[in-house]
Amino acid sequence: MSADLRSVDATALAQAFASGETNPAEAMQAALERMERLNPALNAIIHPRPERALAEAADAAARWEQRRNRRPAPQQGVPSSPAITFDGVPMAIKDLGCEQAGEFHHAGAQFLVELGWRGSLDSHLYRLLRSAGMVSVGRTNTPEFGTTITTEPAAYGPTANPWDLTRSPGGSSGGSAAAVAAGIVPVAHGNDGGGSIRVPAAACGLVGLKPSRGRVSTAPRLGEHRGGFAVDGMLTRTVRDAARCLDIISRPAPGDPYVAPPLGTAETFADALAAPPTPLRIAVSTGGPSRATESAQHAVEFAASLLAELGHRIEPDTAPDGWYSSDLVDHTIVVRTVAMSAEMAGWAERLGRPMTADDIEPANWWSAELGRSLPASAYVQSLAELAGWRRRVMSFWKMNPAGRPGTPDPSGYDLLLTPVLADVTPPLGYLADPIDGARRIAELAAFVNQANVSGQPAIALPVAFDPDGVPLGVQLHAAHGGEHLLLAVGQQIADAGGLIPLRDLPAAES
């Protein structure tokens, strides 16, 4: 089993722990050996913690041994089916958010590297992951403060895509995506304030679920993060792992500014995978200010065709009114730049000195300066405009998260299918170009920002390859609180063979 860990998901690994086929100590040793061999080329994990990971994995192995020793013998003809727990499963943590007491936490920023900055507490999210027994191999690379869709920080250098070492793994959770795609760990933490889970999932051939706003708590450090756009989640190899990870991390904390609606009929998100959904009405869109390339359109067409074969009603060239509005872009720029200015002011207060242009990368300094120049009224007005946009587009969806009629129009849509990126992931350096980078990012990422503003859940699914063998992903959007529907349909696609297979990556192995 140890030799095959690169091609199994967390669920299969946990099942192997339960059967005694392997144990967390052996799995962690295999993960660390693979990290040591592959990470020099990938630059995915920038703060490895092998000694602590081995000790925590040994504790998990002892817990599994105790479980097996006290498990009653199965009755004749009745197999034993212990509940699946991710105790001892290796993971990685993005070096942005998900604070860990005593661990390096640099957010891709050179000034924090120079200070040797470490977390002072365990975040609510990390406590949940550790309570489930999951063990981190280390923290992963991220662009400075997670503000772009490629992972090329000046502080740590670029992360390479395991499918093609010359290409970007996406961002800002690119280090986590590369670690999972290369088979170092089966799952990894990420966060998504503008596509930062879905983009690297699409670029690296993974499943990336952006949860609903309020589903995953940012306690205790943060309340509303970047205007409510950002949410934490996980990058996984399979839909079933995405569901089980969401069950682990979706626990509110006291004082959360908002909490996502409850599941409804299913007790857990994993339960939502048990049966395929009834036929759904699914809108499909590849339009907008920058149309998807032929390769990206083919990926969406393939997914739409498969969904139609599975019995769903597909309606092409359909999207909510204003989904691609330029006003949406303008007002999100206001919110993001003001948030960057506030973040820099917070660091200035913590460090006891002003922040300067020498502290952070030029694009983020420009963003902070713009945000600082805007009046408070501009920020409040943009929030109000975005709230109005959100109310308008949400009437497009038929159901609220509990599965009850939730909009004025009961003939609305259940899901929206779009590309994740408008094209295949580009070469390293293409999006980091100081002159044309911002324009290129806007063109490539025309399909991801909407769900961050609306607060809806969206899932990236790897369904195709471009002619060079690089993965292409599509995404499904559901109404706020509708993760169970995304997971059920994602699993339906997986069961029909619609997702690209797990396999070794020659680029990463070479």
d(CA 329, CA 168): 24
Closest C-alpha to 186, from 137, 221, 229: 137
510 is catalytic: no
Are the beta carbons of 256 and 223 closer than 8 angstroms? yes
- Cα–Cα–Cα angle for 488, 503, 180, rounded to 5 degrees: 70
- From the CA atom positions of the chain, what is the Rg in Å? 22
d(CA 196, CA 138): 19
172 is catalytic: yes
202 is written with which tokens? 């699409």
Sign of CA dihedral 168, 174, 175, 180: negative
At residue 352, φ and ψ (nearest 5 deg) are 75, 30
Q: Which residues contact 371 (CB under 8 A, 6 or more apart)?
A: 334, 336, 337, 338, 339, 340, 341, 342
Are the beta carbons of 232 and 123 closer than 8 angstroms? no
Cis peptide upstream of residue 50 (ω within 30 degrees of 0): no
* Number of neighbours of residue 434 by Cβ within 10 angstroms: 9
d(CA 413, CA 418): 14
* Number of neighbours of residue 109 by Cβ within 10 angstroms: 26
Are the beta carbons of 31 and 209 closer than 8 angstroms? no
* Number of neighbours of residue 43 by Cβ within 10 angstroms: 20
Catalytic residue among 123, 136, 196, 382: 196
Closest C-alpha to 10, from 282, 270, 238: 238
**Residue 30 to residues 39, 134, 188: CA-CA distances in angstroms?**
14, 15, 16
Sign of CA dihedral 412, 415, 419, 421: positive
d(CA 34, CA 123): 28
196 is catalytic: yes
Are the beta carbons of 93 and 140 closer than 8 angstroms? yes
Catalytic residue among 94, 176, 212, 341: 94
Rounded to 10°, the helix 239-249/124-131 angle is 120
Catalytic residue among 123, 168, 172, 250: 172
The DSSP annotation for 433-451 comes to: -TTTHHHHHHHHTTTTHHH
| 3-class state of residue 237 by DSSP | coil
DSSP 236: E
DSSP 211: P
DSSP 138: E
d(CA 305, CA 239): 20
DSSP 173: S
Question: What residues are labeled active site?
Answer: 94, 172, 196
